[in-house]
A and B are shown apart, each in its own frame.
Chain A
């Protein structure tokens, strides 16, 4: 353990130039940097420069010892493995995420009702958005999303606490029971609420049998919020449970021993220490629900037009791609700013696993 720390934190040149020690340090580092996992491991070397690479033949021809040295150098350079194994993912993100988003932003600057990207940029679409009633749908979306986050925080915190601290075997069962719902299409689950709440549905029918006939419970704002709370519950619950798990029991007990009330312990200890979970859960739910289409459509029956629905309309019936792109750009801007602001504030690695290996 000690030797490893020395190898990482002290630059090799700073050590006394003792040839043996230098050698052993290098080897140690090489071992550390070597892959611990199958695919990137030799013999199928992950390096683009294999000894048989024709492009490097000129180096090898005169039995130049440069190549083995080069390879050894590469192997001991920290970071080579990391960079190579991140490459496929980075390429995927460039092609499937960054470029499409740039495409949307650029399209938002095109004159309205065009389908080509090769025209002079204008701000016409943004004037349309703020001049007409489109900003209303943005406000609706933000409001609904904030309400969903608030309700979910209140509903999920006790359950997350129970999962992390109270239950033992039951916690696994509940986790699986809730996680399995993630795999059923959102539409199907929302449709379940429709069947439950429509006129003569499961709830209405039961109440009618009991002598309390009611009309359909669908197509209003509370039902939309219910649908969103329902669909995004797992996305709040699991980060929260992870966050609550991070609160050490000893700290809570110490506070109780010192005479803190339950509320004080919650305010001063539980909440601040589980903040990463609260933050991640809220962020996830907010972002997901701001882009939600189906809740408002299936349960709300067009009572409320959200921004995502507006965007969809512009792309389908409206045939106004630039306007839809401008609306999307606003949404992208909103979420990106939020995510960067929130994620920049704490150490994600501490949350997910343990501390990073290098200090």
Chain B
């Protein structure tokens, strides 16, 4: 494994590989390796040693950190100033069966975002600027270090979630926000999936700023916060903010939700643990390789997809509704075709296979296949960053070397 200590050293390594046309597997610490298909590259180039917070001014709500900086180091620095990353980057170690320290660069390369997705945005919405090394071995800067910037093309968005196929991130600048002073979770018990979706939509239509909404069917409910959620399926709604305001909004929300189901309230400590576990897909961090899908689709249709799949496949699922996600663990076969056809029939979206036994993964594209026109366009874009196709070949487009 190559672990350059400086951006220049990384650029030199990449230039040499570009000249010889030798592929590289770009990575951070590898805690999210398994996102996408297995890259067709022998040598791993890691940004792990490009580490450290380069600039942080709490009053400007902006931080600049080198790509290999551990998320934990960033969280600690922010906590000292009462701030946090509002995009709640999930820790994928449990569910992916990996070890090591998650890095900010890895989070950016995978657009790792949590259940505050709808109100606060995904990681891509918080990323203001990046530095990266492209496939020519050139150091490129994109975006800026201020909140608002529309100068030129937004290459920052393009780099986010590109899984190291466009360049090696070396430094990222992102927006940080005050950490909520208080938080509670309203728990509705015993709802069927379909009714739960309606309840969550009704909650979101209220002016109480629900910052997290998830439906945890009975099959997973017991695996959250040591089984402390009340009996039956749990539909959970999070409120955050100042002390007084959370109390007032909580009362209003509880009253409105009482029409759907019995309501209980979790305190700040339980709320913090619960949403951490929802973000980290805790129920399926079970040490197995059973196929795991991350599905993004119109939230209102998600229950229909799950209901349909249950008829033909062994599927367990829960809904991170505010994250816009359905997490599905298959008992046996990944049922890729059935799943992807189902999503198309319900208005579109995409399914990503995050985990499955090696032999199974080799036969199924991890990423949702794109239309012919979008595939062509994506390939043209990629060629502008990495004309020799040396970065993580095959990872986004299975089997393709260029």
Interaction A to B: no
Residues on B close to A: CB < 8 A?
Answer: none
Residues on A close to B: CB < 8 A?
Answer: none
